[in-house]
Chains A and B, each alone.
Chain A
Amino acid sequence: MSLVDGARYRLAARAPVRQRSPAATTALMAMVVLLAAWQLAARWGLVKHGYLPAPSAVAVAGVAMARDGELWQNAQISLLEFAMGLALSIGVGIPLGLLMGWFRTVRELFEPLVMVLNAMPRIALIPMIVVWLGIGSISKIAVVFIGGVIPLIVNGMAGVRDADGSLVRLARSFCASDLQLFLKILLPGSVPSLLAGLRLAIGHAVIGVVLAEMYASVRGMGYLLQSYGTNYEAAQLFFLVIVVSAAGYLATACVQLVESRFQSWRQP
């Protein structure tokens, strides 16, 4: 009896190849159930009428917004601000983080400042940035930059500092110059840490661009969210929230895909 159990246990343990499709099925079924429940809740008016739009109403609103171009026009602007801010934070954050990891003096100089900026809610700076830079795209790019640059600095620094000591010793033993040590050991070694930083940066950037646009602007996804929200057009509002969430998820998932490729590096 126990033998049979043992054998079954081993079979079950070896099944992960087939586990994938049940997981997807479960997820799909759960989605269907969730949507159905939501539809019914909205239909029966479980939430004060009009404030919980039915999924069908959300879909209808979405199609209309996509059709008259409003969605794409504003999404384009937000995407551009997002991309420019993120590019800027990558261009500044990664070199600065690596420098701070490599040179002790640079690190000692800037670490406290970076730590304060890392710990504080950087979105608190949005009103200030709007006062300084106006309500146009520049202020949004600045918000995205400040949101994204800090995690990249922090992770760049950690990537260099947490370098595998045995690899550093190896390079030294083979007479590596400082530059060789940096280019051949520290830089490639910090890629996983930098990717994790990029994932965090994207999260901050998505929130940053939408919040900044909601706070003050006349275009972009945040502006749309804000104007539909203040008009209590719940269906449009929910649709936009879902679109932004999905975009944020997609961007993060892309980085995660690259990250998982580097996971196999990690030696058992």
Chain B
Amino acid sequence: MTGLATRLRLVRPALLGALPFAVLVVVWEVLARSHVLNRVLVSSPSLIVAALAKQLSNGTIQRDLAASAVEFAIGFGLSVVVGVLVGVVMGWYRPLSHALAPPLWLSYNAPFFALSPLLVVLLGLGTPTVVAITFLITVVPIVVNTAAGVRNVDHILVRAARSFGATDLQIFRKVALPASVPYLMAGLRLGVGRALVGVIAGEFFGGKTGLGYSISYFAGTLQTDNMMVSVVIAAMIGVFLTQGANRLERWLDAWRGWG
């Protein structure tokens, strides 16, 4: 009896949390079927599932996912490599961080996707342009957070390391780097979100395949069912990547002994 009560208490959050989704699906379906809502404009859960099946069988989803994944991987990977390198150097050499501060502030909210027409001409339609846009909007938070992490390393730790005769390189590897992991992770977490935005927005304006391209294309041709399939998949990828970043963060904390 108490076992059942405990189990109920444990699944309560899951049940409650699933409720809004369930209500949304049911109400949506009912309203669409009873023609209260225009099915062409708002689609309906059953129509979306049907579209999903069709897209799976004709390979549209697979193609979109592959294209977006490649763009994401290159754009995000490039941002991490460049962002961490620049960030570390910036954090270590103060004058450089002063010098780069204004352009970085400006870049934080810059609408880089507006440059897509020029990028398309320079780099070509599709992957190169999308990667460039993704890189441009992703690299900034990674640079800023990495630099902050390196800059905010506890001076007492650095002084202690120096008193034991550590070289600059040793201080960097054994003190500054582990100490800046939390900042780095914050930057990466922001970066994941922004890279996803970059891929989708980049494909809106400069893509020729991919999830963002499909969303835009299906919306433009009023194939709402197909558009919703891509939107739902984009949302699921967002959840998946965020969970991954959180897990990585926890794992790194445990590795540093702060678990």
On chain A, the number of residues with a Cβ less than 8 Å from chain B's Cβ atoms is 61
Please, what's the 1-or-0 string for A238-260, where 1 marks a CB less than 8 Å from any CB in chain B? 00111011111100110000000
Q: Is the CB of A26 within 8 A of B235?
A: no
Interface string of B101-136 (1 = CB under 8 A from A): 111011111111111111001100000000000000
Q: How many residues of B contact A (CB 8 A)?
A: 63
Residues of chain A contacted by B222 (CB below 8 angstroms): 131
A211 at the A/B interface (Cβ < 8 Å)? Answer: yes
With A27-B99, A127-B216 known as contacts, the answer to whether A121 contacts B197 (CB < 8 A) is: yes
Q: Which of B203-219 contact A (CB under 8 A)?
A: 204-205, 211-212, 215-216, 218-219
Q: Which of A24, A109, A252 has the most CB of B within 10 A?
A: A109
Distance in angstroms between the alpha carbons of A51 and B123 in the assembled complex: 12
Q: Which of A24, A127, A203 has the most CB of B within 10 A?
A: A127
Complex interface: chain B residues within 8 A of A110 (CB): 17, 20
* Separation of A47 and B234 alpha carbons in the complex (Å): 35
Contact of B239 among A47, A51, A120 (CB under 8 A): A120
Contact B219 A131 (CB under 8 A): yes
Is B115's CB under 8 angstroms from A124's CB?
no
A residues within 8 A CB of B122? 47-48, 51
Given contact pairs A27-B99, A113-B21, A119-B241, A225 touches B219 in the complex (Cβ within 8 A): no
- The answer to whether A26 and B115 have CB atoms under 8 Å apart is no
In the complex, what's the smallest C-beta–C-beta distance from A99 to chain B, in angstroms? 15
Secondary structure of the B contact surface, majority rule: helix
Which chain A residue lies CB-closest to B24?
A: A113
B-side contacts of A48, CB under 8 Å? 121-122
Q: Is the CB of A248 within 8 A of B238?
A: no
Residue A34 lies at the interface, judged by CB distance under 8 Å to chain B: yes
Q: Please give, as numbers and ranges, the residues of chain B lying within 8 Å of A112 by CB-CB distance.
A: 17-18, 20-21
Binding site for B on A (CB under 8 A): 22-24, 26-27, 29-31, 34, 47-48, 51, 105, 108-113, 115-121, 123-128, 130-132, 203, 206-207, 210-211, 214-215, 222, 225-226, 229-230, 232, 234, 237, 240-242, 244-249, 252-253
Q: Residues of B with Cβ closer than 8 Å to A?
A: 12-13, 16-21, 41-42, 95, 98-103, 105-118, 121-122, 193, 196-197, 199-201, 204-205, 211-212, 215-216, 218-220, 222, 224, 227-228, 230-231, 234-239, 241-243
8 smallest CB-CB distances across A and B, nearest first, come from: A248-B109, A127-B219, A30-B99, A120-B235, A120-B238, A112-B17, A119-B242, A26-B98
